[in-house]
Amino acid sequence: MTGGPLAGVRVIDLTHALAGPYATMLLADLGADVLKVEPPSGDLARRAGPYPPGDDGREFGGYFQSVNRGKRSIVLDLKTPEGAAMLRNLAAEAEVLIENFTPGVMERFGLSYESLAAVNPRLVYAALRGFGDPRSGKSPYQAWPAFDVVIQAMAGIMGITGTEDGTPIKVGPGVGDIFPGALLALGVTSALYEARASGRGQFVDVAMYDAILSLCERIVYQYSYTGEVPRPEGNRHPLLSPFDILPATDGWVAIAAPNDNRWHRLCELIDRPDLAADPGLATNDLRVSRRGEVYQALEAWTRDRTKADILTRLGGHVPVGAVRDAAEIMADPHVAARDMAVSLEHPGTATTFTVAGQPLKFSRTPAVPRRRAPLLDEHGSQVRASLDHQRGAPHPRTEPDLSQGST
């Protein structure tokens, strides 16, 4: 198989938890050689499950597998002069370095962007932090630690996601981590593209707060244009109608037909020509003003039908989809046709397990998960030997010491 579009790009991955590893996982799927640098105790995510039955070794669980697939691993204790020196040697040969420590940590290790770029001017150094790096703008929250739920709260998601009485609800997926990670991967590839022409790398900075605020772009222009503060509205949309989650006899379905032509087609399919003929419902803005009536009309049609019946009638004509759980999604032929469920081996068991596939599709250079997540320091000897060969001099070897804390 042809390598991915980033084949040959060497990435030093100092990230941990979810946001940073998600970014470097994307680069690994795209073909980059991603070397995960871990402290002697390993990434904390290694100890997060779920673990497969019979896996007594518990080298890692599903969490770690999902976002660290396709990478290599080396153990370095950056708190020691030897570990820091090895990292500098690795960065001198790499095109990209990515970290998600709090501000100042890399400086304390003597591994700042400026010091590494002085040795390797082509280095793209990327940082992902809760509130950004002071190089790009000093946030009053700069030193605050951050997790997905905190960022969802601060940057706008929970302000518009919740019940109609205003009770905020966290979005299920860790979007406060995953969306910033995806943006960082875009920033890194953009900087790589520019460096190919200029011969110079640069510092790339993504704040989780900034990323999620950009994801909530509607609240910014809505507040600016109307002066109104957007609030949680349950499953309804403040600007579009119909755009609803409706009950079926065996679950729920989503129906969205704010376009006037789609609205008329929907009315035809549910045998309600009177709705299509009502001048007070002729435009989306009018339907928004009477969206309670629109919802009741659609609910009267869906509530006595199964999800399958509703999809059979509406599918392909108006935007419609059933609310599905993981088992239903894994049985969906779309998922198989698009390679969106990928099986990987798992150490300690002969069984393969499934992770989410790669949504980026390329006609010539496929981006696919190629191998499982690494064991701790699985590639350490190989990497050290390679550096020794390239530089013609011995380098200090740091063996794993599980008694030490993480960096």
Write down the H helix ranges in 315-379: 326-330, 333-337
The residues, ordered by sequence, that sit 6+ positions from 396 with a Cβ below 8 Å of its Cβ are 82, 83, 85, 86
User: Would you say the C-alpha torsion 398, 84, 44, 93 has a positive or negative sign?
Assistant: negative
E strands in 30-143:
33-38, 72-75, 96-99, 124-129
DSSP β-ladder status, 203-207 and 72-75: unpaired
How far apart are alpha carbons 52 and 380 in whole angstroms? 26
- Closest to 29 measured CA to CA, from 147, 189, 151, 246: 189
How far apart are alpha carbons 3 and 31 in whole angstroms? 6
How far apart are alpha carbons 100 and 207 in whole angstroms? 10
**Of residues 29, 43, 148, 177, which has the active-site annotation?**
177
How far apart are alpha carbons 173 and 19 in whole angstroms? 12
Q: State phi, psi for 186 to the nearest 5 degrees.
A: -65, -40
Q: Which token pair is 128?
A: 């992902």
- Are the C-beta atoms of residues 109 and 76 closer than 8 Å to each other? no
Cβ contacts of 9-12, under 8 Å, gap ≥ 24: 9/33, 9/95, 9/96, 9/192, 10/35, 10/93, 10/94, 10/95, 10/96, 11/35, 11/94, 11/95, 11/96, 11/97, 11/98, 12/37, 12/87, 12/90, 12/91, 12/94, 12/96, 12/97, 12/98
Indicate the angle between helix axes 217-226 and 208-215, nearest 10 degrees. 60
Confirm whether 205 is a catalytic residue: no
Q: Could you give the residue numbers annotated as active site?
A: 177
